[in-house]
Structure 1
Amino acid sequence: MAVTEGTVPFRGFHTWYRVAGRLPAPDGKLPLLVVHGGPGLPHDYLEDLAALAEDDGRAVVFYDQLGCGRSDRAEDPALWTLETFVAEIDAVREGLGLDRLHLLGHSWGAQLALAYMLGKPSGVAGLVLAGVIADAPSYAAGTRRLKDSLPAADREVIDRCEAEGTTDDDAYLGVTMSFYQRWLCRLDPWPEHLVRSVLTMREDVNAALWGPEWNITGSLRDWSVTDRLGEIDLPVLVTSGRHDMVTPEVVRPVAEGIAGAEWALFEKSAHMASVEEPDHYRHVVEDFLSRAEREPAGG
């Protein structure tokens, strides 16, 4: 499988990318551009999707968002806005000549993909929204309910450390990991590429935009596009896990709000279905992308 790496210019910085497979694909299959989660979490945990290039001949394009991973480590807090990262999608497309493509966004990346598509870009044939959030307050309410299902002692640690501003305390980090092992990824141990992403997350970027899962304190705490979902008019696949911290109550309005959207629920997964059920996940995604390519534009 061919793999190429490089950077594209973006706002005076460089955004790093990796392409698994060939651009353009020899058989005409459209490339899949993958928008990772976070904010501030590099793309590494999504590397299982690269096998689409080997198994199905579809080029898969990864990139690390500005400030994290292998992209330039910008330090200006004014950059950490939704608008910055939406614009970066266009920069990657332009730099790699991705005139026609599919888009897959996971978690925070699905928020970016939604915001991007609401800008009515041309050339996107299919959209995959994985672990998608369209309303931040509803998501926070859902994760608070999950937090409340933790043992009382764990909840006490969370509440105390957040009240005291000691969320870097080992006890808080340990309880947070217990939460993530239930609703982020249920594999034990976590695979190396997921650990690599988590250990290199850009904490200040995450805090500026988001913050704790159950108590969003960043600038996106009131973000919602639920009332605009009807504007999206292309083939859409929504994916989530049975044990996902993005609960069905959060996902359902997205799946029902986009006309014709499909919703695939992965029974053995939490928030990382592409990691927890990689073969099954790729099969579902490739089936959808192949069908989306056959649909007329705007169908």
Structure 2
Amino acid sequence: MALASDTIHEGFVDFEVKSISKACQTYYKVIGNLRPGTRPLIALHGGPGASHDYIEILADITRGRPGPLILSDQIGNAQSTHLPDKMGDVEFWSVHLFVDELNNLTTKLGIDEYDLLGHSWGGMLAAEVAIRQPPGLKKLVLASSPASMILFVEAQNVFRSKLPEDIRKVLDKFEEDGIDTPEYQAAVQFYYARHLCLISPMPEGLTKAFGWIEKDPTVYLTM
């Protein structure tokens, strides 16, 4: 994670989404010095709907690199512009939106060459960027990213079937009536503790990321 001795720059870049009239911005954080001649590592968070907080720990392994670590909150999430009125709009929340956002970020920050790391959904997004063969992309890392959503869902259903019956009933009830309750959140946390993060208590960055999803689940529930 970022240390007090690190050079850190935070800010926002304007991001024009042509299909809406609302002015949008992308939050970003640069850990290290972004200067000519250095190639940054851009890290894409998962979710979709989470935040950069839980992958800030990458600073621990990039600190010895000449280039900085660049993190951001994808549109609709955390400190970037939220669009709750787009809940359920699957045409709006497309991978193309997030590819455009990343291209906008690199352009606005004056980045010509970069390495790209994507975790979970972020890895799926990174793969979509890579198949477009942008000239600035030099290295690609996909971390814990599903290659097939069909197989991913099948695996999640297997995990879910092995949960205690009382936990499964709470999850099933939420899917039936769509009402978020403390019992549902507790059931979700039980699932996460068993199949997502085995560290207890969860790292602060991951807790923050889940907190953002709870505050505004628009992207998470739509995608």
Query: Alpha-carbon deviation of 1:178?
Result: 0.7
Partner of 1:48: 57
Query: Retained in 1: the 8 A contact 2:76–2:218?
Result: no
Residue 19 in structure 1 maps to residue 30 in structure 2 = yes
Question: Aligned to 2:76, which of 67, 74, 90?
Answer: 67
Match for 1:132 among 142, 145, 153? 145
Structure 2 residue matching 1:120: 3-state secondary structure = coil
Aligned equivalents of 1:76, 1:172: Cα separation in 2:
24
Q: 1:99 aligns with which of 108, 112, 131?
A: 112
Question: Residue 159 in 1 paired to residue 199 in 2?
Answer: no
Contact between 1:19 and 1:60, CA under 8 Å: does it hold in 2?
yes
Per the TM alignment, residue 58 of structure 1 is displaced from its structure 2 partner at its CA by 3.3
Q: 2:221 aligns with which of 207, 214, 239?
A: 207
The one-letter amino acid of 1:109's match is G
1:258-288 superposed Cα distances (whole Å, 9 cap, x missing partner): xxxxxxxxxxxxxxxxxxxxxxxxxxxxxxx
Structure 2 partner of 1:235 = none
Residue 149 (1) aligns with residue 127 (2): no
Pair 1:177-2:167 in alignment: no
Question: In 2 relative to 1, CA 93–8 (structure 1 residues): closer, same or farther, beyond 3 Å?
Answer: same
Higher relative contact order (CA 8 A, sep 6+): 2
Separation of aligned partners in 2, 1:144 and 1:174: 18
Structure 2 spans left out of the alignment, 5+ residues: 1-5, 17-22
Cα drift, residue 128 of structure 1: 0.7
RMSD of aligned alpha carbons: 1.8
d(CA) in 1 for partners of 2:141 and 2:49?
21
* Cα offsets for 1:64-120 (capped at 9, x unmatched): 111222212234525422211111110111111221110001111111111111222
What corresponds to 1:190 in structure 2? 202
Matched residue of 1:40: which SS? coil
| Runs of 5+ unmatched residues, structure 1 | 210-299
Q: Which moved more, 1:50-59 or 1:133-142?
A: 50-59
Alpha-carbon separation, structure 1, partners of 2:94 and 2:138: 26
Query: How far, CA to CA, are the matches of 2:222 and 2:191 in structure 1?
Result: 22
Q: Could you tell me how far 1:192 is from its partner in structure 2?
A: 1.6
Q: State the distance in 2 between where 1:186 and 1:29 align.
A: 36
Deviation at 1:204, TM superposition (A): 1.4
How far does the alpha carbon of each residue in 1:141-191 deviate from its partner, in whole angstroms, 9 at most, with x for none?
A: 00111111111222222223322333x122222111111001111111112
With normalisation by structure 1, the TM-score equals: 0.65
Counterpart AA for 2:76: G
1:2 aligned partner: 7
Query: Which amino acid in the other structure matches residue 204 of structure 1?
Result: T
Could you tell me which residue of structure 1 aligns to residue 20 of structure 2?
Answer: none
Q: Following the alignment from structure 1 to structure 2, what is the Cα–Cα distance between the partners of residues 74 and 157?
A: 29
SS where residue 151 of structure 2 aligns?
helix
Change (3 A) 1:43 1:141: same
Preserved contact between residue 52 and residue 59 of structure 1 (Cα < 8 Å) = no
Identity rate, percent = 33
SS at match of 2:101: helix
Q: CA deviation at 1:53?
A: 4.1
CA contact (8 A) 1:104 1:127 kept: yes
